A and B are shown apart, each in its own frame.
Chain A
């Protein structure tokens, strides 16, 4: 009957030896002064005085109806149910799962049990990844795949024990599987505590205030070149290359340093999630749009850029400049050198069954069509959809709607008004063997 702050809960998952206990101890020593309860499901050496450590056997309770999204963790309901009675309540609860845990029932416990939901809020799922062994684990076990799929944050640990190149490849693989999660690299689980706690990952309106997107960049482009240009008309010339088309976003007012390039990359990742507009040789390339340069013809092909005022532009290209011998030329035909460039760890095709599908689209959605499609999709494929997040612009609705789901459980609610900000939609699905084309087309069909 009281309105009070819910106690945030963070779930730490990861295989045995991935560094969960090290991270746990680091959190406890840095957050001293706070009352933290730790629920442990496997033996670990947690040695901090002020934390209450409760050992509980992981008890997975399925229901008689056999529905997997009704499966909950009985031990958490029991232990949390008792903890919440004390007047000097805890400031934070950390749940450390066993290495073989499926994170689904843990997360569902916070949605399915009314009493738990009334007192606790799931803050986020943090998955520790052992950079040395995860490649083998992902091939061999469903659990490690699911731990990656459910994560809000992945701590890529033990990066000091593998080469930089392998870490890049691993990061690209993980990103492909789960584009929602933030990836932080660490040695000995040494990450800033604020990257793993107080994420409000399940409180979407709050999370969106801090970052206006759920999409974590996976860099669908390999190369960026920055050109400092005067007003005028420029020619972008490409030779024959490995592919008949190349995606490109030209971004205006692009800075040169690394932070500015990353910022640009984040922005362009979202442009890349929109459908590409085909641009033929001789055509002008629109600024700030996702285009697909049509390169089927033989020989060099030219495209044009028109600038009304002096500006520094960033070319975010699907392939490196070398592959197509890309050149920027002035109207007089002289080659202009870029003032900065960088290559990105590009996304690679993996044969992982688990992957992410991200949809980003401007425009308004018909609520009935969307509900019918999403309802059906979750009913049919809920078992294979681990997480889902998104925000939607419903036709005629002044407020943005935020969505999130765990398996078949779907939560949708109105968020703040759109106001002057552009109305757009973003949806991310993380799941197993999802048909990306089908999901994209079905979403398109829901647009007004």
Chain B
């Protein structure tokens, strides 16, 4: 039995399969291509419009792939895995252009600086930053625990999250510029694009955030599960948070979100796994354990309605808007890659 077709704003596009759980992916060359990495360590490139497989490379990361990040110019991307390596690929070639041997343990996060000059990676308790050519620029001292997330601000600062702490580094030098402390296991982190607001999901089912300019911080508790999915919209106004079947959207407009009623997006029947805002406008895509992908149209207070929905065959592992916002790709736990046109 095939699932029902897409509804509302989502229109049939194409679908494909990779060899295992689709861990990570991203649009390349402005949406002409889509690259996907799987749990067996394979990398697969697809034509963005037709879905034709343009190249695949199995076992690029022995043991499995853990993370992927597309370069801001859209031409290259970086992958990382359990083999302790980072590979940098030209999106049109099935051979990595650069190989960085980070160390003996898993490389769990990779992120390009918005200016495209630096690639930050995490390996156990360390953050390291490399140039696009794979030269090490700096490395941090050991954090108190394994680094769980990293993020860049538009200004070129790098933030890292670990148990009990968020640390800010100067992107070019690695100089530590700020430490924010909170006793809790921070499992996810996002930055507002200007870098002023840091939001973290915590193992104890709460979201903690700091405003760096005013040194104000707040904790939003009461989530039924741990908020591992977080997303900021491009203007830094709305923070969408998972942590249960509902998506809770906090608005930083005015004096909020403290004392305001958040948007409560209620349609999923199992916990939300992934969230992504389109680059322009207030469109949010959410994916959940039940295989549902929903597109929401929100106002500046974070309230809104579903405008499109579709079902994939397994737990949604990723949702990625095409840079122009006119298509949405979903990756799932069975290895499915599904692309819809977005009206």
Contact = CB atoms under 8 A, between A and B. Distances in A.
B136 interface: no
A290 B315 CA distance: 57
Contacts of A163: none
Interface residues of A, number: 23
B39 A74 contact: no
A74 B161 CA distance: 13
Interface stretch (B45-53, B182-190, B301-309, B319-327): B182-190
Interface string B255-288: 0000000000000001100000000000000000
Contacts of B64: 82, 85-86
Contacts of B21: 85-87
A114 interface: yes
Contacts of A72: 185, 203
A35 to B, nearest CB: 13
A55 interface: yes
B105 A64 contact: no
Given A52-B63, A74-B146, A86-B39, A63 B314 contact: no
Contact of A1 (B106, B202, B270): B270
A1 B291 contact: yes
A82 B66 contact: yes
Contact of B204 (A57, A64, A114): A64
Given A114-B226, A114-B271, A85 B333 contact: yes
Contacts, number: 76
A62 interface: yes
Contact of A86 (B20, B145, B146, B225): B20
Contacts of B289: 1
A2 interface: yes
B233 interface: no
B203 A85 contact: no
Nearest to B204: A63
B148 interface: yes
B204 A70 contact: yes
B290 interface: yes
A64 B184 contact: yes
Nearest to B315: A1
Contact of A64 (B145, B202, B270, B314): B202
Indicate the member of A52, A70, A72, A82 with the most B CB atoms within 10 Å: A82
A114 B226 CA distance: 8
Contacts of B204: 63-65, 70
A61 B148 CA distance: 13
B146 A57 contact: yes
B183 A113 contact: no
A59 interface: yes
Given A1-B315, A52-B63, A87-B21, A114 B225 contact: yes
Indicate the member of B106, B204, B289, B333 with the most A CB atoms within 10 Å: B204
Interface string A57-99: 1010111110000101011011000100111000000000000
B231 interface: no
Indicate the member of A55, A72, A114 with the most B CB atoms within 10 Å: A114
A2 B332 CA distance: 13
Contacts of B225: 114
Contact of A59 (B146, B183, B184): B146
A78 B148 CA distance: 9
A419 B39 CA distance: 48
Interface in B57-104: 63-64, 66, 82, 104
Nearest to B269: A1
A113 B145 contact: no
Given A1-B291, A64-B183, A114-B225, A86 B40 contact: yes
A62 B182 CA distance: 11
B66 A61 contact: no
Indicate the member of A55, A65, A77, A86 with the most B CB atoms within 10 Å: A86
Contacts of B27: none
A74 B203 contact: yes
A1 B268 CA distance: 13
B124 interface: yes
A63 B23 CA distance: 28
A78 B146 contact: yes
Contact of A2 (B108, B163, B314): B314
Interface string B173-216: 00000000011110000000000000000111010000000000
Contacts of A61: 145, 163, 184-185, 203
Nearest to A78: B146
A75 B148 CA distance: 10
B183 A1 contact: no
A77 B105 CA distance: 16
Contacts of B219: 64
B23 A55 contact: no
Interface in B127-163: 145-146, 148, 163
Contact of B185 (A57, A65, A74, A87): A74
Contacts of A75: 146
Contacts of B291: 1
Contacts of A86: 20-21, 39-40, 64
A446 B291 CA distance: 46
A57 B104 CA distance: 13
Contacts of B163: 59, 61, 74
A63 B185 contact: yes
A85 B23 contact: yes
A62 B226 contact: no
Contacts of B270: 1
Contacts of A78: 108, 146, 148
A70 B221 CA distance: 15
Interface in B211-247: 219, 225-226
Contacts of B314: 1-2
Contacts of B40: 86-87
A70 B39 CA distance: 30
A55 B123 CA distance: 13
Contacts of B82: 82
Contacts of A57: 124-125, 145-146
A284 B125 CA distance: 72
Contacts of B145: 57, 59, 61, 74
Given A64-B219, A87-B335, 20 more contacts: A1-B290, A1-B291, A1-B314, A57-B146, A59-B146, A61-B163, A61-B185, A62-B183, A63-B184, A63-B185, A64-B183, A72-B203, A82-B82, A82-B106, A82-B108, A85-B23, A85-B64, A86-B40, A87-B39, A87-B40
Interface of B: 20-21, 23, 39-40, 63-64, 66, 82, 104-106, 108, 124-125, 145-146, 148, 163, 182-185, 202-204, 206, 219, 225-226, 270-271, 289-291, 314-315, 333, 335
What are the 3 A-B residue pairs with the smallest beta carbon separation, nearest first?
A: A61-B185, A63-B204, A85-B21
6 contacts: A1-B315, A59-B163, A64-B182, A64-B204, A82-B82, A87-B335
